[in-house]
Amino acid sequence: MGTIKLPKKSIKFFKTNQNKIFKSGKLAEGPWNSKLSEKIKSITNSKNAIPVNSNGSGLTALLLIYKEYYGRTDIMIQSNTMYGVKVITKTAGYNLVDYIDCRLETLMPNFEDLKKAVDHYNNKTEKLVIMLSDIGGIINPDIKKISEFCKEKNIILIEDSAHSFGSTLNNKFSGTFGNAGVYSYYSTKAIFAGEGGIVVTNDNNLAELIKDFIAYDRFKQKMEIGCNFRLAELQALMIYSVVKEYREIIKNKSKIANKYSKICDKLKIKYISQKTDIITGNYYKFILISPNKKISELLPKVKTITSKVYDYSLGNSTQIPSQHLCLPIWYNLEKSISNKVVKELLLSK
């Protein structure tokens, strides 16, 4: 097992405060859930932030609530996303009516792809939820246009922001463009703490329903659906400890990305940029793309890689798995690894 790559300040903060949790005896539903919620609200400018035990449980809670209280029965997701996102739709009892095509330039759908899918949809849009996943650390560049379109058509838009905590588009944070968004702090993510998720929404009614749902509505006893999707206090502290250093984590990763970008620019290798005039990503992945042939043919010597996003397609975008790869990029990545990557890139061209 390797060392966990977290900022020293995060580990110290966790260790200092964990004893307070033991002394207080409040291992669940205590102050760290509230502190974490306040922290996320202040970072993302979201009106509500509800900690849950995973991104998946947050998405499932949202879908079940939209079915029970808002009459939604149908859902579309994008072709290029984690297999579990598809599983969630069935788990929540939805009809998965379409997979929206994705583009190699972003690994996500653009506005036209989404509009095409909605134009083909032959039911009332008041029945529809669209759940879009940010891929690789950046927000879907068309999300504002998509969000306005969904509003106009009365479609519920959920942002699966599992990859994109801390990322912005025109200074607006991921998760805040649609009706609700959900972050993930699972071990492999850019800003990670082991497990956990947070639902963000500006809709106060929805937020109240989520808060009650994740505790079986056992206090008010008005709802007929619910479960325990709560986040444990120790885990809330763990996420808080990491989240408070999120800028440092992104800054550290951006230096590694700059090293890769420089060499890619020189060799004319295409990659998905995480820093433009409007985009600031969290550098979850550093993604190289090959528009015309398999990436393994374009860059045969590049072997120091991490897992793709993704190596399968749920719908039509079948070229994506073979035409991209991801370079290693994590907080405090060893220089020997990034040097090896640079060497392999140079050998490939």
Ligand X SMILES: Cc1ncc(COP(=O)(O)O)c(C=O)c1O
Residue among 62, 64, 82, 107 that touches ligand X (CB under 6 A): 82
Q: Does 133 contact ligand X by CB under 6 A?
A: yes
Q: Closest approach of Cβ 130 to ligand X, in Å?
A: 15
Q: Is 184 a binder of ligand X (CB under 6 A)?
A: yes
Applying CB under 6 A, the span of 52-60, 144-152, 166-174, 208-216 interacting with ligand X comes to 52-60
Q: Which CB sits closer to ligand X, 109 or 259?
A: 109
**Of 30 and 181, which CB lies nearer to ligand X in the complex structure?**
181
Least gap, CB of 221 to ligand X (angstroms): 28
Residue type, 249: I
Minimal distance, residue 164 CB to ligand X, in Å: 9
Residue 193 CA to residue 185 CA, distance in Å, equals 5
Q: Does 186 bind ligand X (CB under 6 A)?
A: yes
Q: Which of 110, 76, 99, 80 is nearest to 287 (CA)?
A: 80
Residues 309 and 326: beta-carbon distance below 8 Å: yes
Query: CA 120 to CA 63: how far, in whole Å?
Result: 22
- Ramachandran angles phi, psi of 84, nearest 5°: -60, -25
Specify the stretch interacting with ligand X by CB under 6 A; choose among 17-25, 54-62, 143-151, 312-320. Answer: 54-62
Does position 55 interact with ligand X (CB under 6 A)? The reply is yes
Q: How far is the CB of 16 from ligand X (least distance, A)?
A: 26
Tokens at residue 48, please?
A: 């509500």
Question: How near is the Cβ of 67 to ligand X at its closest, in Å?
Answer: 19
**Which run of H or E residues covers position 100?**
strand 95-100
Q: How far apart are the first and last CA of the chain?
A: 34
Residue 160 binds ligand X (CB under 6 A): yes
Looking at residue 295, its amino acid is I
Beta bridge partners of residue 132, listed in sequence order = 159
User: Segment near ligand X (CB under 6 A), from 25-33, 158-166, 209-217, 235-243?
Assistant: 158-166
Q: Does 56 bind ligand X (CB under 6 A)?
A: yes
Considering the rule CB under 6 A, would residue 81 count as an interface residue with ligand X?
A: yes
Name the 3-class secondary structure at 129.
Answer: strand
For residue 194, CA distances in Å to 209, 273, 281, 322 come to: 26, 27, 21, 29
Choosing from 18, 73, 84, 261, the residue that interacts with ligand X (CB under 6 A) is 84
Tell me which stretch binds ligand X (CB under 6 A): 40-48, 61-69, 155-163, 242-250: 155-163
Looking at beta carbons only, is 176 or 338 nearer to ligand X? 176
Q: Per CB under 6 A, does 313 bind ligand X?
A: no
In 3D space, the residue among 64, 83, 82 whose CA is nearest the CA of residue 73 turns out to be 64
**Under the criterion CB under 6 A, does residue 109 sit at the interface with ligand X?**
no
- Distance, in Å, from the CA atom of 231 to the CA atom of 212, rounded to the nearest integer, reads 14
In angstroms, give the least distance from the CB of 284 to ligand X.
9
Kindly give, in sequence order, each residue whose CB lies less than 8 Å from that of residue 228, ignoring residues fewer than 6 positions away.
214, 215, 216
The residue among 232 and 269 lying less far from ligand X, judged by its C-beta, is: 232
Residues 6+ apart with CB under 8 A from 251: none
Contacts with ligand X by CB under 6 A lie at: 54-56, 81-82, 84-85, 133, 160, 162-163, 184, 186, 197
